[in-house]
Each structure stands twice: as C-alpha cells, then as structure tokens.
Amino acid sequence: MTTHINPVLVESLVVSAVVLCVHAALWNQHSWCAVALLIQAFYVQHKWDRLLKSGGAVFQFRPAANSGIVPASMVMPLLGLVLRAKCASAGSVHLERFTMVVTVSGMVLALFLSLIALGITRPVPTNTCVVAGLSASAILYTAKQTLTVSEVIEVLEVLLIFVYLSLIVLYLLPRCFTPGEALLVVGGISLVVNQLVKRSLSWAEAKGGDPVHYLLPVLVVGSLLLGVVFALLFCFMESETWVSSLFFHTMTAVLGLGILMPWLALFIGRHPIMWLWDFVTFNRCRLGLVAYWAALCLAATCVVLHQNYQRRAGSKKHQASTVVRKYFHVIVVATFVPGLLYDRQLLHVASAGCLAIFIFLEYVRYFRIKPLGQPLRHLLTLFLDERDSGPLILTHIYLLLGMALPIWLFPGACAPKGTLPGAGGLVPYAGVLAVGVGDTAASVFGSTLGEIRWPGTKKTMEGTATSVLAQIIGVAVLLIFDVGVNLNGAYSWILGSVALVAMLEAYTSQIDNLLLPLYLLILLTL
C-alpha cells in the first residue's frame, strides 16, 4: 500500500526545521517573531493553494506549482537575523541596525501578502484570520519596541515600493512567478531600490564609498527602469520594427550614459569607465580571470548553437534533456570557483555586470528587438522547461542569482579578516554547493539512475543522496584549495545543513536555483 504524503507539508516541515535552528541559535525577540510568521504563513499557504487551484487568484501565477508562501516568507527575515548576529559580534552598529530593518521588512511584506490572500478568499477563513492577526500583532509590537522612528519609516517605504512594483510586475508578466517567488524577487528589488534612493538623497555622506558596493544596486535599478519604461511604451506601439528597435537601443544608451553613469559617479567620486578599467587591469590575475571567463562564455555559446543544430537536423519537437541543461551548471561552477579562490571582488563586479547583460538580452528577446530578438527567441526556446511558462525566460537569470547572491550578501564588514569562522567560511560557496554541485548531481543521477521516488514527488532518493554526497566531496575539495576556509570541527553542522537543503530541493516546487542557496547560506552563517 502506497502512502500518500503531501509534498507541501514536507516542504513546510523542512523550512520549520531551519527556522527552529535559527531561533535556537539566536533566541531573541525577532527570532520569536520568525516562529510566529512561520505559523501564520503555514495557514495562509493552504488558502493560496486553494485559490490557485480554483482560479480565484487576482493575478495569473505560474501553473503546476504551489504558492510557496512558507519558504519565501522566511528567507528575508532569517537572512536579517543571521547577518545581524554576525554584525553585532563584529561591533558594526550601522550594519546591525540595517539588518534589523531587513528582518522587519521581510516580515511586513509577508504579512501584507497574507492579508491579500485572506481578503480575496471566500468564505473568509476565520481561524486563519485569527492566527494571522495574532502573529501580525506580535511582529508589529516587536518592531515598535526595537526600531527607531526613522527605521519604521524605512520599512513602510519598502512596503510602498513593493506594492507598486508587485502591481506592475504581476500585471505585465502573467504566469512568470508563484506568489512566493513574487514575494522573494519583488521584495528583494524593493529593498535595493529603497536603499539606493536613500543613499542618493544623502549622497554627500555616501560619496567616496567602495564602488563595488554601489555598482550592483545601480545596475539593478537601471535594468528595472528600462524594463518598466519599454513595457509601458510598447503597449502602444509595435516593437518588432527597425524604427522601434533603433529607438530601444538609443534610449538604452541614453539611460546608461546619461543617467546611470553620472549616478554611479556621484557615489564613487570618479568616472565609472575609468574606475572599471583600472579595476580590471589592476594585476595579471584579474586579466587572466577575464580571459578565462571569456573562453567559458564562448564554450556556453557553442553548447547552445550545437543543441540548436541538432534540433534542425532532427525532430522539430526536440528539447534539451536535463543532462544537457546541467551543462550550464557545470560551466557556471567553473566560472565561479576560480573567482572565489583568487579574486572575490572581481567576481562580485563581473557577476553584477553579467546580471545586467542577461536582463538586457531578455528584454531584447521578449520585445523582439532587431537584430538579435528573433534569433535569441529561437535559440533559447530549446532549453525551456515547465518553470518557463510565462512570457519571460528566467531560469538562466535565477541560476546566476543563486550562484552570486551568497557573494553579494557575504558580510565582509562584519567578518574578521574577510571570512567567517567554522561553517561560515563556506558562506560564499553556498551557491556553488547548493546549485552548482548538489542540484546538478541530484538532477543528473536522479533522472538517469534513480528508481525509488520520494512520496508525492518525481524526485528520487538516489538523487538526493547523491546531492548530499557530492556537496560533501565539494567541501573536501574546497578545504584543499582554499586555505582561508577553516571549519573548526563544524562537520556535523555542515552535513545537517546540506541534508536539510537537499530535502528542500526534493520537495519544493519553487525555483530551486534561487531558494536553495539562500537557505544554505542561512544555515552556514549560524
């Protein structure tokens, strides 16, 4: 007799285990609020899933996936909690206060999304409303007791930006996100936009800061502005003509050269192109890394062209297999590991620039901008899977984000000598381990050799076991090549963290390229 297990319940149990680990390690007012948020998110997720199945949701979300409220709601609060602990131990008061704002902002955004779900559910779920009200009261009371007035205003600003961006993104891009993925992506963008606006208004204090820290938010906000402007503009005009394409490229150049570069120059105190040239040519190691990455980029292009040649030579319905798609995971691992070993600052800048290029090329493909729009559309459709059900192709962008976010979020100012002791030394490698090594091994071995499936899913136990083993081997290899990693006997914690994230990969229907590195980062930072 086969036992039916609800995968959403197992996913929630795995997330609960992570929340309890954080709560047990930190044990403060905000960690209690995280537990309360988890309970209300669990209740609300059931209502969201019912809305999605009945077609009662206001927007069109990604089909064939649950709402993902529980795992997405906990990411930002837990990140804020673990980073706050590191900043507090390092004595960085400014960053400690900022991480508190991140924690409360994540909780408030999750509460707002829950309120929306409860408001459109019919009949109104009384018990869920009571649980959500109690947890919201506890969170708001704690925020009032621990945040200053200016920090409360900052949280409200993030919420306001989130509301407007959510309306724009979910209306213009139907079926691209689940509710949880929308919370995670739009919530992160809202926080970045708010911080960049705040720093711009006090540019005299921010002037002369590290250019590496300002490059990413300026590129993110610039890419967002470009997409919003042209999405609205091309509602009223045809985008596939040469005139529209010329206008697109002209406006992109105006935005980049006329707005973004002066904006970045305002922060760093010099011309961005001159700074970038000096930064890249600083030593031979950086030039060698750039040449190596260019070779890998050429290799990835060859893979895409070869697969499309096979499609033309064979069936028109030919789609790239799971093993072929994982070639790109291997290429990304080969890209990130040397950067992490030899020059993390260069990797930080390169990954931020690569994100901007990926987003720009996706705009070109989506709007069919000449001359590359139609060829890109033809080349990339070969690698689509069920997660790319909307108008945008986002899996390659998620893969880059999953690998790069641990590097961008690495609390260098809060870490002694640029690293964290124990398992924290592996924090920059969280994306490499969770996505590049673990997810790749689970997909390849699970799809080719796996026979015993986890109840309620298509994932196999052999794939999960291989994922854990591959990540442990990856840690052992890193210990050999990276002398800065000193685990201090934290082997059992690393094994438990990897196993928890592997179980989350087996049961989640959310974008694992984005979710898994963040949860592994949270556990390794404790």
Flag whether 304 is in a domain. no
pLDDT of the residue at 336: 93
Q: Which of 157, 189, 206 is the last residue of a domain?
A: 206
pLDDT of the residue at 204: 60
pLDDT of the residue at 258: 86
Q: With beta carbons less than 8 A apart as the criterion, state whether 43 and 131 touch.
A: yes
pLDDT of the residue at 432: 93
pLDDT of the residue at 2: 47
Longest CA pairwise span in the chain (Å): 70
Domain count, the chain: 2
How many other C-beta atoms lie within 10 A of the C-beta of residue 334? 15
- Alpha-carbon distance values, 294 to 228, 355, 515 (Å): 30, 15, 28
Flag whether 508 is in a domain. yes
pLDDT of the residue at 110: 92
Distance CA 187, CA 185 (A): 5
pLDDT of the residue at 315: 56
Q: Which string of DSSP letters, residue by residue, matches 347-382?
A: HHHHHHHHHHHHHHHHHHHHHT-TTTHHHHHHHHGG
Flag whether 157 is in a domain. yes
Nearest partner of 367 among 523, 248, 257, judged by Cα = 248
Backbone angles phi, psi at 65, to 5 degrees: -150, 150
Flag whether 298 is in a domain. no
Using DSSP, state whether 236 is helix, strand or coil. coil
Q: Which of 188, 206, 224 is the last residue of a domain?
A: 206
Among all chains, which residue has been given the structure tokens 């409303």? 129
Flag whether 350 is in a domain. no
Q: With beta carbons less than 8 A apart as the criterion, state whether 179 and 69 touch.
A: yes
- Alpha-carbon distance values, 140 to 80, 100, 467 (Å): 16, 13, 40
Flag whether 227 is in a domain. no
Q: Which domain, by its residues, includes 421?
A: 411-525
- Cross-strand partners of 453: 460
Distance CA 466, CA 443 (A): 9
Q: Which of 206, 227, 248 is the last residue of a domain?
A: 206
How many other C-beta atoms lie within 10 A of the C-beta of residue 300? 16
Query: What letter does residue 198 receive in the DSSP assignment?
Result: H
Flag whether 123 is in a domain. yes
Among all chains, which residue has been given the structure tokens 């700074």? 275
Helix (H) or strand (E) holding 293: helix 284-313
Average confidence (pLDDT) per 10 residues, the chain, 526 residues: 73 93 89 91 87 78 86 93 85 84 93 85 82 89 89 92 89 86 92 88 66 86 86 80 87 88 85 89 90 90 77 59 74 91 91 92 89 82 73 87 89 60 82 91 83 85 91 90 79 91 90 91 90
How many other C-beta atoms lie within 10 A of the C-beta of residue 375? 13
Flag whether 486 is in a domain. yes
Helix (H) or strand (E) holding 46: helix 29-54
